[in-house]
Every structure is written in C-alpha cells, then in structure tokens.
Amino acid sequence: MTFDYDLFVIGAGSGGLAASKRAASFGAKVAIAEYDLVGGTCVIRGCVPKKLMVYGSHFPALFSDAAGYGWKVSNTEFDWEHFITSIDNEVRRLSQVHISLLAKAGVELISGRATLLDPHTVEVDGRKITADKILIAVGGRPVKPDLSGMEYGITSNEIFHLKQQPKHIAILGAGYIGTEFACVMRGLGSEVTQITRGDNILNGFDEDIPKEIEEGMTNHGIRLIKNNVVKAVEPVAEGFKLTLSGEDQEPIIADVFLVATGRAPNLDGLGLEKAGVNIVSNSVERPGYYTTGAIAVNEYSQTSQPNIFAVGDVTDRINLTPVAIGEGRAFADSEFGNNRRAFNYQNVPTAIFSTPEASTVGLTEAEAREKIGDAVKIYRARFRSMYHSLTGKQEKTMMKLVVDSNTDKVLGAHMVGEHAAEIIQGVAIAVNMGATKKDFDTTVAIHPSVAEEFVTMR
C-alpha cells in the first residue's frame, strides 16, 4: 500500500519535534500537525516562560543583597506589562525558530488539529492524510479538581497572560507548578497563599528537599495552609473569597486564584477508539482529584496498534521535556534509523525552580532503604554559602548523597540552594556512570564554591 507519508506526527511539542526531525534525517518523508504555536507546552506555556519569570523574580533579592556589598540601589520599579510582553515575544520568537528548524530538516508542517480515522489515516481540517506510521505527541493539559468554584480559577496556561500583577494570589496545589509559581509571585512582590490537601509540598521527592524548600518559602513570606481543600469560591469586590475545609480556617480573599493540582494527557478529540489505540484506565485518588487515562505503550513507545506510537506526557511516564525528546529520538532511531533501542528512565535528573531552588538525581533515601535496607549510608551538609556572609541573610544550602555501603556506589544526589540545577546536572553524569563515594572523595574540589561540598562530605 502506498502512503502519503512514512511518518505523520500529531503534535509539535518537544517529543514530536525531536522525533520528526530525527526520522527525516534518516530519509523518511515526514509531516507534523499542530493547531497551536509550534513548540509545545515547554516553549509556549511551560519551562521557557516559567524560567524567565523565575529569573525576573530574583531581582528584588539581588537588589537587597547588593547593599551588603556596598552598592546603593534605590528607586527600583517593576513594570508587569513590560515583563509579560517581553516573555511572550520571546516565546513567539522561539516558536518561529522551531518552524525554521522543521523546514531545514525537510519536515512538512501542517497547521490544524489532527484526528485519527483509522490506523493509517488522519484528518486535518477536512483533509484526509495517510501514513505508514503515526506518532502521537500531543502532551498534557492542566486539570482542575471536581470541586465547587474551580471555574473561577486560572491554570498555568493563563498565568503568563495576566493583564495585571496579582496583589494577592491564592494557589491550590503543592507540586512543581504550584510551588514554583508561589515562589515566583512572592519574589515579584505579590502576597501569596498556597493551599495543599496533604501534609507536605512536593510529594515524591527526597524528604529533605520539601523540608528545606518549605522553610525557605516560609522565611520569604509565603503562607502555607496544609490539609485543606477549597470547599467554595465566591466572587467579591476584592476578587474571590475561598472557603476552606478546615473548621477553624478563616476564608482567603485573593484577586487571583491559581489551580495547580496536576496535569493530564491531552486525549480529547484524538479519535483513539477509531484507530484501536488503548489507554490506561483512570484511577481516582481522592474525591475531586483524579488522574485521567494515558495512552498505553511498550518500552519502544508502541501502542496497541503496531504502527501507531506515542511519546511524552500523553503517555504519562516521566513528564519532563528532556524525557519526551529522548523518547522521540529513540522512537525515530528504532523505526527509521536501524537502531532499535528503548529510552533509559534510570537516573533522570530534575529540578524545582522554586526559591530556594532544588535539584535531584537517582534514588531518594526512602527508595534506597526500601531497596537495600540498612546498607544505606547518608552524607548530608547544610550551611550558609559564602555569598551570604556579606548579605546578612540566613539562606541555607542543603546537599545530600545516598550511598550503598556494600558497594560504595552513589545511588542518589539531592540539593537545595542557589544554582542547584546547574550543579546537579554535572553530578548526574557521575551518578549515571555508577560513581562511588570514593570517586567523589578523590575528586579535587573547586574552592571556594558551593559545589565543592559534594566532593568534601565525610
């Protein structure tokens, strides 16, 4: 059978872009469909604009720190409209860069929403297109809990386009997104209240990470309300009145309400049932909070339909941009590059761009103890960096190594503090290569630096 394309990709985000360009480099005829700006969540409404907001939120602290070093900084003023407009302009510039890269790679970009009609046919704005192989890379979307008043809340999609800076922002959720935006908005000068239904922020991380971040957030003036959910939301003159579940908890009045309770694979309107693509069943966590279905795939990103594949957040494996890119390239190598391989999910590093920042790679202490029990040995350091010796601030840095005492192998590395992501990126190489604590110990330190603590802990 003759097809219009060797590969048709649905979704021009990180995974789809990586896969399409890699497949085209092997000589495949490739098209990619996108109904939004090219670049996906990361470029348009995720990593990139979020990190630019993080950078912007640090300047007030830097102005303050400068005084300790003899600088006189006065008459500072923040222009929210300029800030938001500049970020949007950069997002649109990067989207155009990705379009240019597709063209350079020989990938045809088709604007519009693609829907599966059968295992080899998609429809885009009334046009039927056939392909030998189809890759679904449509990513995820923010989801709101099924609780009263959630319709008044914005999500991470809308926060980048607020016309005015919130005076007081209430944030529901304490994962990556909720925690990062709490710190961003507080750094920019907004009053921040963060509400979480559990005992802790950032579930799933090594226990020392949320503990250190929470202390820093509290010291920076963020109000954390735990073990509460929003029972009702009422519009009032000042914005919104949030009634919480705690019997003794006073209502919260905020002019903006951010719902950051999670994301779900973007399956709506794909036509998966027409193509015979199976999804993983929904699982309810707690009343009002749920995880929607994801596309089921094997280790090679292949779905229940042999010629249809899926990568990235739509599969709900590890929802990180570099993982989606890695999955996309592994798919292209396997199907078009004569190099069948699966993406390696071990030792995937990640960062939380909160204030203080955190980053991690490998096993948490709890995971290591579950795996090897009492053989776990912990090395931990907590200190104030030299930078703050003149600022007078009590900002703390925490660094931690999880080691298997039987083999001396470093199983995990965790850090909270300035430049944590930059430091852990290098440490991740060592952890991924199977470095031992002795390897760390025999590495000469760069002095004076914060990073040297990883090779001087005893």
Please spell the DSSP secondary structure of 338-376, one letter per residue. Answer: S-------TT--EEE-SSS-EEEEE--HHHHHHHHGGGE
Whether 449 is in a domain gets the answer yes
pLDDT at residue 148 in the model: 87
Instruction: Give the DSSP letter of residue 311.
Output: -
Query: Considering its fold, how many domains does the chain have in total?
Result: 3
Per residue in 79-111, pLDDT (tens digit) is 999 999 999 999 999 999 999 999 999 999 999
Whether the model clears a pTM of 0.85, i.e. scores above it, the answer is yes
Alpha carbons 337 and 339: distance in angstroms, whole number: 5
Question: β-strands 30-34, 5-10: how paired?
Answer: parallel
* Residue whose tokens read 């720190």: 65
* Residue whose tokens read 């990513």: 139
Q: What is the pLDDT averaged over residues 339-346?
A: 97
Alpha carbons 350 and 421: distance in angstroms, whole number: 8
Per residue in 12-66, pLDDT (tens digit) is 999 999 999 999 999 999 999 999 999 999 999 999 999 999 999 999 999 999 9
b/e map 333-367, b = 16+ CB within 10 Å:
bbbbbeeeeebeeebbbbbbbbbbbbbbbbbbbeb
Q: Which residues have a Cβ under 8 Å from the Cβ of 83 and sit 6 or more positions away?
A: 53, 56
Helix-, strand-, coil-residue percentages of the chain, each rounded to 5? 35, 25, 40
- Do 131 and 270 have their domain in common? yes
pLDDT at residue 229 in the model: 93
- Do 49 and 106 have their domain in common? yes
Tell me which of 213, 229, 261 is where a domain ends.
Answer: 261
Q: What is the pLDDT averaged over residues 124-137?
A: 98
Among the listed residues 168, 414, 419, 447, the single catalytic one is 447
Per residue in 418-434, pLDDT (tens digit) is 999 999 999 999 999 99
Tell me which of 216, 244, 261 is where a domain ends.
Answer: 261
* Residue whose tokens read 């040297």: 452
- Do 154 and 250 have their domain in common? yes
Per residue in 281-339, pLDDT (tens digit) is 755 454 445 556 899 999 999 999 999 999 999 998 999 999 999 999 999 999 999 99
Judge residue 117's burial from the number of C-beta atoms within 10 Å of its C-beta, 0-12 exposed, 13-18 middle, 19 or more buried.
Answer: middle
Whether 136 is in a domain gets the answer yes
Q: What is the pLDDT averaged over residues 150-171?
A: 97
- Do 167 and 240 have their domain in common? yes
Q: For the range 317-326, what are the long-range contacts, defined as Cβ-Cβ under 8 Å and sequence gap of 24 or more?
A: 317/345, 318/345, 318/348, 319/140, 319/263, 320/348, 320/350, 321/14, 321/42, 321/46, 321/47, 322/348, 323/348, 324/13, 324/14, 324/15, 324/18, 324/137, 324/139, 325/14, 325/15, 325/18, 326/18
**Measured in Å, how far apart are the chain's first and last C-alpha atoms?**
65
Confidence label for 1 from pLDDT (cuts 50, 70 and 90): confident
pLDDT at residue 286 in the model: 46
Q: Which residues have a Cβ under 8 Å from the Cβ of 309 and sit 6 or more positions away?
A: 133, 134, 135, 136, 297, 300, 301, 302, 303, 331, 335
- Do 257 and 275 have their domain in common? no
pLDDT at residue 290 in the model: 52
Give residue 380's identity as a one-letter amino acid code.
R
Residue 441: domain span: 356-455
Dihedral sign of CA atoms 345, 346, 349, 352 in order: positive
Whether 342 is in a domain gets the answer no
Alpha carbons 73 and 93: distance in angstroms, whole number: 33
Q: What CATH number is associated with residue 418?
A: 3.30.390.30
b/e map 158-171, b = 16+ CB within 10 Å:
ebbeeeebbebbbb
Q: What CATH number is associated with residue 59?
A: 3.50.50.60
pLDDT at residue 287 in the model: 47
Tell me which of 200, 226, 261 is where a domain ends.
Answer: 261
Annotated catalytic residue 58: no
pLDDT at residue 291 in the model: 55
Alpha carbons 366 and 209: distance in angstroms, whole number: 12
- Do 134 and 269 have their domain in common? yes
Per residue in 223-244, pLDDT (tens digit) is 999 999 999 999 999 999 999 9
CA 384 to chain CA centroid, Å, is: 28
Per residue in 172-227, pLDDT (tens digit) is 999 999 999 999 999 999 999 999 999 999 999 999 999 999 999 999 999 999 99
- Do 27 and 134 have their domain in common? yes
Average pLDDT, the chain: 96
Confidence label for 147 from pLDDT (cuts 50, 70 and 90): confident
Token pair, residue 94, equals 């990067």
Whether 345 is in a domain gets the answer no
- Do 123 and 159 have their domain in common? no
CA 172 to chain CA centroid, Å, is: 17
